[in-house]
Amino acid sequence: MRRLRRDRLRPLLRESRLSTDDLIMPVFVDENISSPKEIPSMPGYFRFPIHDVADEVGKAMELGIRAFIFFGIPSHKDDVGSSAFDDDGVIQKTLRNVRKEHEDAVLITDVCLCEYTTHGHCGIVKGKEVLNDPTLPILGKIAVSHAKSGADIVAPSGMMDGMVKAIRSALDENGFESVAIMSYSAKYASSFYGPFREAAESEYAFGDRKSYQMDIHNGSEALREVKLDLKEGADIVMVKPALSYLDIIRRVKEAFNVPVAAYNVSGEYSMVKAAGRMGWLDEKEIAYEILTSIKRAGADLIITYHAKEIAEVL
Ligand code: PBG
C-alpha cells in the first residue's frame, strides 16, 4: 500500500477534494449596529451592518467563495416574527444591496422565526407550545419576500412539519418557480448551536427546541425526514450539525443520491478556535481535516464559518 503514498503520487489518488465551490459562507447581518462587531463566542467572526455586507461578500468572492447564507438580527421583534417577511426587513435590504454589486453571488437565506420573535422559538407559540400548522403560512411569506429581494435559494431551518411544501407552493404561486429550496431536513436538537444563538440573538425565552428538532440518539429518523422533504419538493437536503453526524450524512447520500449539504455549525467552529488559541491544535490543519472528512462522508456542500480561512489555504 505504501507505494502509492509517495509525495509525488499522493495527489493523483485523492478520493475526495475540498474546493471553494463546495463552500457556503454564513453572514450575520445586524440592523442595530453601524460597524462590524466581533461575536465573543466565535473569535474572528463578525456581525455586519447592512451597508458593509456587499464588501464582505466581495472579499470572500476574491478568495473563490461564491455562495453565502444570510442570517438577520432585526431591530424589531414581536411574537409572530413579522419583521422576517417585511419587504424592508434586514435580510431583504441586504439581498438587494449585495445583488447590486455581485451579480454572480449565490444568495441563500435562512428562513426561520427564531431571530425575529420575542420568545425566540422557530414557530408561533401558544402558551408553552410551538404550533406547527399556523407557522407554515408565515414561512411561505418569508420565503416569497426573500425571493422578491433576490434570493437564489431559501433554506428553511425551523423543523416544522410540512414547511418545504408550504414554501414550495408559496414560491410557485408568486412566480418564483426557479428559486430552489435547501431544507434543513435532519436538524438535531444539538448543544453545538450555543455560539450561534449568541451571534444571532436567537436564544429562546423558555423550554428548548426538542419538540421540533431531532433527537440526537436517532439515525433512521433522519432518513424519514429527508424522504418527506424530498417528496414536498426540497432540491437540496441538509444534515446539521456535521462533525458528530458524519454517519447521517453518509446514510442520506447513500439512500437518496441527491445533493446533500452539511452545516459545520458554530460550536464546531468555536472548539477549533479555542484549541487553536490555546496552542493545543493547529487551527488551519484541523479545519481542513474536518471539512475534508465532511466531504468524504458524502456532503456536496458545506456551510462553514471557516470558509474564508480555508479558501485561502485552497
Ligand atoms: C435557526 C438556526 C440555528 C442555526 C442555524 N439556523 C439555530 C438553532 O436552531 O437554534 C444554528 C447554526 C449554528 O450553530 O452555526 N433556526
Distances (CA, A) of 19 to 15, 28, 292, 307, 311: 13, 23, 10, 10, 8
Q: What does the alpha-carbon distance between residue 60 and residue 68 come to, in Å, rounded to a whole number? A: 9
Instruction: Divide the 314 residues of the chain into consecutive groups of 10 and give the mean pLDDT of each group.
Output: 96 95 98 97 97 98 98 95 97 98 98 94 92 96 98 97 98 98 98 91 85 96 98 98 98 97 98 97 97 98 98 94
Number of domain units in the chain:
1
C-alpha cell at position 110: 435562512
Tracing cell 438587494 back to the chain, one arrives at 96
Give domain status of residue 63, yes or no.
yes
Q: Residue 196 C-alpha to ligand 1 middle, in angstroms?
A: 6
ipTM for this prediction: 0.94
Give domain status of residue 7, yes or no.
no
Tell me phi and psi for residue 220, to 5 degrees: -60, -35
What is the domain extent for residue 160?
18-205+219-313
pLDDT for 231 equals 98
Instruction: Say yes or no: CB of residue 122 within 6 Å of ligand 1.
Output: yes
**Measured from the CA of 115, which atom of ligand 1 is nearest?**
1
Grouping H, G, I as helix, E, B as strand and the rest as coil, residue 256 is helix
Question: Among 134, 109, 59, which Cα is nearest to 312's?
Answer: 59
Q: Residue 128 C-alpha to ligand 1 middle, in angstroms?
A: 20
The CATH number of residue 45's host domain is 3.20.20.70
pTM: 0.96
Give domain status of residue 5, yes or no.
no
As a whole number of Å, the CA-based R_g of the chain is: 19
